[in-house]
Amino acid sequence: MTRAGFVAVIGAPNAGKSTLVNRLVGTKVSIVTQKVQTTRFPVRGVAIEGDSQMVLVDTPGIFAPRRRLDRAMVNAAWGQAREADAVLHLVDAKAQIDVAKGAGTSADRKAQVDVDSIIKGLKTSGRIAFLALNKIDLIKRDQILEVTRILFETGVYGEVFMISAANGSGVDDLKHRLAAEVPESPWLYPADQSADVPVRLLAAEITREKVYLRVHEELPYAASVETTAYEERPDGSLRIEQTIFVERDGQRGILLGKGGQTLKSIGEASRTELAELLGRPVHLFLHIKVKSNWSEDRAYFRDIGLDFDV
Ligand SMILES: Nc1nc2c(ncn2[C@@H]2O[C@H](COP(=O)(O)OP(=O)(O)OP(=O)(O)O)[C@@H](O)[C@H]2O)c(=O)[nH]1
Ligand SMILES: [Mg+2]
């Protein structure tokens, strides 16, 4: 008897959803940065425990959307929650505790508002979710009890876990529990498959992560990356060409840096990781294009599997 099913990981931006999915899967399937709204589309990673195969669905953060892309992202996250066999709501415990103490930053207060809206959404859906309080490596255990009690009293959670996606604390217990939760079913993916993302898209995501990590302050929310060529060379190496889209001309300069140094180091970091991930040498060529309306481009939504008209 085997088990298999989908577990949607939802939460406010920056809660640590992608970090957790990568840890559960045991390899990197989704990019992680310190910036909110890093994940833009649902990403599937496959984890196995015993006879159970869990398809973890990393989702974009749920927040009050303003732009079209925001709306599509939030809509996609809720869509995954509706369709999954189980829903895991991941909450940044540190942010919650700081807000409760009156010491939260504006980002923490935003996160709290988003958590409240997710609870409302869960209530409306009638779904009982798993609650995981994340980032417990940053807090003292006794601080978490009051926040946990308040969240639990909302009635939308069946069980609660305290974890650190970053250092793995509590994650094995959670994985064990999720493995038992997915229904009896044949496995949905081959046993050796850990990600379900087209490789060109994954390659673009890796570069977008490096862009964010390098220039996140100067380039708030304004870049996207497209893989325009992906070819295998006779010597077994890969030739990958990508375009980084920015919204304004000034951002091109920021990305390039002095003498092109910033772009060079972004390319180097991405190339190194891609080579490791793909298991072969990679030749990576990056271009920058200014396209003020890339986030209103129907083709972009189609490429990343988001609904343009929501
Ligand atoms: N200290 C600590 N940091 C964490 C933990 N989990 C995630 N982080 C950090 O939190 C930040 C956000 O992590 P992500 O995994 O990108 O968060 P996310 O929920 O996927 O964010 P979005 O995709 O923007 O919605 C990163 O800087 C992570 O390194 C944790 O358990 N402890
Ligand atoms: Mg993410």
pLDDT band of residue 15 (cuts 50, 70, 90) is very high
Kindly state if the Cβ of 251 falls inside 6 Å of ligand 1.
no
For residue 134, give the ligand 1 atom closest to its CA.
31
The C-alpha atoms of residue 29 and residue 133 are separated, in whole angstroms, by 22
3 state DSSP class of 6: strand
pLDDT per position as a tens digit, 187-237: 999 999 999 999 999 999 999 999 999 998 888 667 999 999 999 999 999
Provide the β-strand partners of residue 36. Answer: none
CA 297 to chain centre: 22
Q: With residue 140 as reference, give the H or E element that holds it.
A: none
Q: Which domains does the chain have, with CATH numbers?
A: 3-181 (3.40.50.300), 198-303 (3.30.300.20)
Kindly state if the Cβ of 38 falls inside 6 Å of ligand 1.
yes
Q: Which among 160, 146, 179 has a CA at the least distance from the CA of 50?
A: 179
Mutational pocket test of ligand 1: of 17, 19, 36, the residue with most ligand atoms within 8 Å of the beta carbon: 19
Kindly state if the Cβ of 59 falls inside 6 Å of ligand 1.
no
pLDDT per position as a tens digit, 31-87: 999 989 999 999 999 999 999 999 999 999 999 999 999 999 999 999 999 999 999
Under 8 Å between Cβ of 9 and 17: yes
**39 CA to middle of ligand 1, Å?**
11
Q: Tell me the average pLDDT of the chain.
A: 95
pLDDT per position as a tens digit, 72-115: 999 999 999 999 999 999 999 999 999 999 999 999 999 999 99
**35 CA to middle of ligand 2, Å?**
9
The C-alpha atoms of residue 297 and residue 306 are separated, in whole angstroms, by 11
Kindly state if the Cβ of 104 falls inside 6 Å of ligand 1.
no
pLDDT of residue 61: 97
pLDDT per position as a tens digit, 225-256: 999 999 999 999 999 999 999 999 999 999 99
Relative orientation angle of helices 249-256 and 199-215, to the nearest 10 degrees: 90
